[in-house]
Amino acid sequence: MDTAKMEAGIRLFLEGIGPAAGPSDVAETPARVARAWADDLIAGYAVDPASELTWTDAPEGCGPVLVRDVRFASVCVHHLLPFAGEAHLAYLPRHRLAGLSKLGRVVDAWSRRLQIQERLTEQIRATLDAVLAPRASVVLLEAEHTCMTLRGVRKEGSRLTTLSAGGAWASDAAARREILDLLAPGRRGPTPSA
């Protein structure tokens, strides 16, 4: 990443705002902004998501693995404004179990880039499939986009939901519905049978 170019671009942006930006208030802003973007907001470009996903052998007959409410933040490639929300992931192991924290690292490695949510959802699921080779996988993302809540139509509280399914959960609607019910936000475990 060329932080010097990023810094120069921010300087031009501030000059474009004009005197209203207050020159004494923004003297260090270009360097701060370049560091914030390079070190955090788009730090995912320096990470190989697949290398973040370590695994161990799955026990025989292992059932679905689900992880809900993995917080993420990203930046909209169209407006350079943030969007943030929760990722919900599930996979049906064939031979490999992912390290739990590694699933969160995969989400971060892809989300800390300029993104659209639809592509981000697919990239996370494709990484699960490539590394774990599960029998089925699904990724559901829900996020609030500031390009919709702070500008344009300004619809605060609006959330975008995207879904990507692979393997058995892509081809079997009933099985997909069952796993999505388990991943549903707010759900906290199996419902006891009567």
- Encode pLDDT of 3-15 as tens digits: 999 999 999 999 8
Looking at residues 18-27, what average pLDDT do you find?
78
Q: How far apart are CA 11 and CA 30, in angstroms?
A: 6
Q: Which residues contact 80 (CB under 8 A, 6 or more apart)?
A: 114
Does the domain made of 51-183 have the CATH classification 3.40.50.970? no
Q: How far apart are CA 143 and CA 159, in angstroms?
A: 5
- Encode pLDDT of 97-148 as tens digits: 999 999 999 999 999 999 999 999 999 999 999 999 999 999 999 999 999 8
Residues forming a β-bridge with 56: 97
Residues forming a β-bridge with 96: 57
CA 110 to chain centre: 6
Q: How far apart are CA 64 and CA 179, in angstroms?
A: 8
- The band of 153, judged by pLDDT with boundaries at 50, 70 and 90, is confident
Looking at residues 63-89, what average pLDDT do you find?
96
Nearest partner of 191 among 77, 48, 181, judged by Cα = 181
User: pTM of this prediction?
Assistant: 0.90
Q: Is 22 helix (H, G, I), strand (E, B) or coil?
A: coil
- Residue 97 parent element (H or E): strand 96-98
Domain coordinates in residue numbering, the chain: 3-41, 51-183
Residues forming a β-bridge with 91: 65, 137
What pLDDT does 12 receive? Answer: 93
